[in-house]
Amino acid sequence: MRYFSLALIASIAVGCGPPVMYDVDGQPIREPLFMAALEGGWLAVDSSAAGVRAVLELEVAASGERETLAGPGELQLWTGSGLPLEPARLRQGEVECWPKLPSSVRCREGRGSNQACVQEVQGVGRECRYTLCAEFRLAELPRSHDPLVVNIGGSLTILQLRR
């Protein structure tokens, strides 16, 4: 029983904190200098001998199995007062789709109090998503109080970096 308790505590402790992010090549970013959460993903900033980069890992909703976000200007990063940056490298996962049931169902009219409710399910659709990983090359390391702005398909998100 004691070993089970220790294993349970260890598994809970391991699940805490920000996720491990992967770059465009699929390599883990082990010690990012800064991280920021945004809807559907994370942005990490790290530095190496190759320079400073920001890596965006994002789960994107798609309206169909072939839709992608890969056009110029649809994914940009602003740092400070500079011009928007386009991704230096981009990796996009396969689009995955699955059935999506409506959030509410209703019972047929005219049932008696002793009869079970027969639910009518209308509007069964499909939900599709894919993972997008983008790498942006930065001229310098952003300061922790400088916001970053991410443009994803015309939707702007302001990020505050955290160490």
pTM: 0.71
List the one residue out of 26, 58, 49, 17 whose CA is nearest residue 162. Answer: 17
Q: Does residue 61 belong to any structural domain of this protein?
A: yes
Q: Does residue 31 belong to any structural domain of this protein?
A: yes
Q: Does residue 63 belong to any structural domain of this protein?
A: yes
Q: Does residue 2 belong to any structural domain of this protein?
A: no
What distance in Å separates the CA atoms of residue 30 and residue 46, rounded to the nearest whole number?
Answer: 9
**What distance lies between CA 126 and its chain's CA centroid?**
19
22 pLDDT more than 50? yes
Domain residues for the domain of 76 are 21-103+121-159
Tell me what the pLDDT averaged over the chain comes to: 78
pLDDT digits (tens, 9 = 90+) for 34-51: 999 998 899 999 999 889
107 pLDDT more than 90? no
87 pLDDT more than 90? yes
Higher pLDDT, 145 or 140: 140
pLDDT band at residue 155 using 50, 70 and 90 as cut-offs: confident
98 pLDDT more than 60? yes
pLDDT band at residue 9 using 50, 70 and 90 as cut-offs: very low
> What is the phi/psi pair of residue 3, to 5°?
-65, -35
Q: Does residue 3 belong to any structural domain of this protein?
A: no
Q: Does residue 136 belong to any structural domain of this protein?
A: yes
Q: Does residue 144 belong to any structural domain of this protein?
A: yes
Write the CATH number for 84.
2.60.40
Q: Does residue 40 belong to any structural domain of this protein?
A: yes
- The percent of residues above 70 in pLDDT, for the chain, comes to 67
Q: What is the pLDDT of residue 143?
A: 79
138 pLDDT more than 90? yes
Q: Per the structure, how many domains does the chain have? A: 1
